[in-house]
Amino acid sequence: MPSVSTPDALDPSAVRGDFPILDQQVHGHPLAYLDNAATSQTPTPVLEAIQSYYRNDNANVHRGIHELSRRSTDAYEGARMKVARWIGAEDAGEVVWTRGTTEAINLVASAWGAANLEEGDEILLTDMEHHSNLVPWQLVAARTGARLRYLELDDEGRLRLEDLPGILAGGRVRIGAVGHVSNALGTINPVREIARQLHAAGALLLVDGAQGAPHAPVDVAELGADFYAFSGHKMCGPTGIGVLWGRRELLEAMPPYQGGGEMISEVQRDYSTWAELPHKFEAGTPNIAGAVAMGAAVDYLDGVGPERILVHEQGLVRQALEGLQAMPGVRVFGPRDPEGRAGVVPFTMEGTHPHDIATILDSQGVAIRAGHHCAQLVMKRYGVSATARASFYLYNTADDVDRLLDGLESVREIFG
Ligand code: 7TS
């Protein structure tokens, strides 16, 4: 467990010791890694969990009677329980391992959508969704004849919640799919209120938690979510593993997503019956090491304290916003109040393409992302083709933010 300076504050310099990758020079400068919304770094206990799994326990799960298979199954199912606790789910059978957020959303759009949507039904999306929470719904809409409705954004990057009652009044919305936190704006969405209104209208809510679960305490029941999707690699775990949480009765009623081994109860020539939850949705040999490592990542984050992570990030956001707002020609996207946003700071600089900003920062060892961030509807809404984006996590320091701001000063000098 990383040490912290006071019971309440997270000390990022103590945490950094757990992340060996951060201790390196890039282009002759110490690395300032500010691309955490894309993927986070991996602490030593998680690296060790992966190695230990392959060194000591590797075997396929739920199959053999032998000792290694028993151990790998215990580790795999134990990790599921840890992840369930991380999001406040009491029933680990409601936690389905997936490849990540994208696959979790595709699972719901495909399996739930095919069984529940028909022509004239509506799916509520928002203009701030990541493409992972748009395209799967477009595909199921094309297959079923359902229609997509959109909640629009205000000038500060918040959802226009005042439009929701009007959309729901039509009585055709069956499901809403809304991000917990926007990767392109940093906005923390009022998920609880959206859930309340959707449920009152007889609709369900899927929450895209890719940028939520890694950064703040999550309680799926308290949020009022019916489905919650997130990825291991954005929360100190490895790539290729993620989670779909869903309410048991909904998952029970859904048809399988993929067919294959592990997900059946009995196979006949013409039909099969399905395994119990959550295995019904886990066809084929799963990413066992990934799941075990995601469990280790949850243990690690739990040790730091999820409520500290968001507070720490918001402090860095405040520092970044103050610096950016003082720079002429800089436009910051998303809510002005740091309390309304998680650790994502997108911006543009007049006369400079975001890719040039990112390239110059990279030459100074500062890693940010530039582009549309898989949120082209956000870019369209604010009339830009791309933004530069700094995104923070528990190991980022005030010095990292200073390096960003100093780097941007040099960008301004180069581009005049
Ligand atoms: N939803 C949101 C809100 C995201 O930010 C991302 C990834 C995804 C879904 C997809 O997650 P995956 O793990 O299945 O790929 N976001 C980003 C990003 O902002 N930059 O790179 C990936």
User: Across all residues in the chain, what is the average pLDDT?
Assistant: 96
Q: Look up tokens 């950094």; give the residue.
A: 16
- Two structure tokens written together for 96: 């389905």
- Cα of 180 to ligand 1 centre, how many Å? 12
Total domains, the chain: 2
What number is the average pLDDT over the span 104-129?
98
- Two structure tokens written together for 179: 């991000």
Testing ligand 1's pocket by substitution, the residue of 374, 376, 377, 393 carrying the most ligand atoms inside 8 A of its CB is 374
* Structural domain span for residue 163: 47-302
What number is the average pLDDT over the span 130-157?
98
Ligand 1 site, residue 187, Cβ cutoff 6 A: no
User: Is residue 229 domain-shared with residue 365, that is, in the same domain?
Assistant: no
What's the pLDDT at 358?
A: 98
Residue 40 lies inside a defined structural domain of this protein: no
What's the pLDDT at 62?
A: 86
What's the pLDDT at 343?
A: 95
User: Is residue 70 domain-shared with residue 124, that is, in the same domain?
Assistant: yes
What's the pLDDT at 29?
A: 98
Residues 115/143, Cβ–Cβ less than 8 Å:
no
Instruction: Please report, rounded to a whole number, the percentage of residues in the chain having pLDDT higher than 90.
Output: 95
Testing ligand 1's pocket by substitution, the residue of 36, 101, 178, 389 carrying the most ligand atoms inside 8 A of its CB is 101
**CATH label of the domain that carries residue 332:** 3.90.1150.10
Ligand 1 site, residue 42, Cβ cutoff 6 A: no
Amino acid at 401: V
pLDDT of 322-374, one tens digit each? 999 999 999 999 999 988 999 999 999 999 999 999 999 999 999 999 999 99
Amino acid at 21: I
- Cα of 150 to ligand 1 centre, how many Å? 20
b (16+ CB within 10 A) / e for 144-180: bebeebbbebeeebbbeeeebeebbeeebbbbbbbbb
Residue 259 lies inside a defined structural domain of this protein: yes
User: Is residue 272 domain-shared with residue 313, that is, in the same domain?
Assistant: no
User: Is residue 313 domain-shared with residue 182, that is, in the same domain?
Assistant: no
User: Is residue 271 domain-shared with residue 327, that is, in the same domain?
Assistant: no
In the residue annotation, 236 being an active-site residue is answered as: no
Residue 87 lies inside a defined structural domain of this protein: yes
pLDDT of 242-254, one tens digit each? 999 999 999 999 9
Ligand 1 site, residue 40, Cβ cutoff 6 A: no
pLDDT of 180-191, one tens digit each? 999 999 999 999
* Residue of the CA atom closest to atom 18 of ligand 1: 38
**CATH label of the domain that carries residue 243:** 3.40.640.10
User: Is residue 23 domain-shared with residue 66, that is, in the same domain?
Assistant: no
Ligand 1 site, residue 99, Cβ cutoff 6 A: no
User: Is residue 255 domain-shared with residue 364, that is, in the same domain?
Assistant: no
Question: CA 2 to CA 32: how far, in whole Å?
Answer: 20
- Cα of 130 to ligand 1 centre, how many Å? 7
Ligand 1 site, residue 197, Cβ cutoff 6 A: no
What is the value of pTM for the model shown?
A: 0.97
Neighbour tally for 60: CB within 10 Å: 16
| Active-site residue, selected from the candidate residues 167, 250, 374, 384 | 374
307 pLDDT more than 80: yes
* Residue of the CA atom closest to atom 4 of ligand 1: 210
From the list 21, 338, 412, the residue with the least C-alpha distance to 187 is 338
Q: Which atom of ligand 1 is nearest to the CA of 389?
A: 19
How far is residue 49 from each of residues 68, 111, 161, measured CA to CA in Å?
Answer: 16, 33, 43
Residue 76 lies inside a defined structural domain of this protein: yes
> What residues contact residue 318 under an 8 Å CB cut-off, 6+ apart?
338
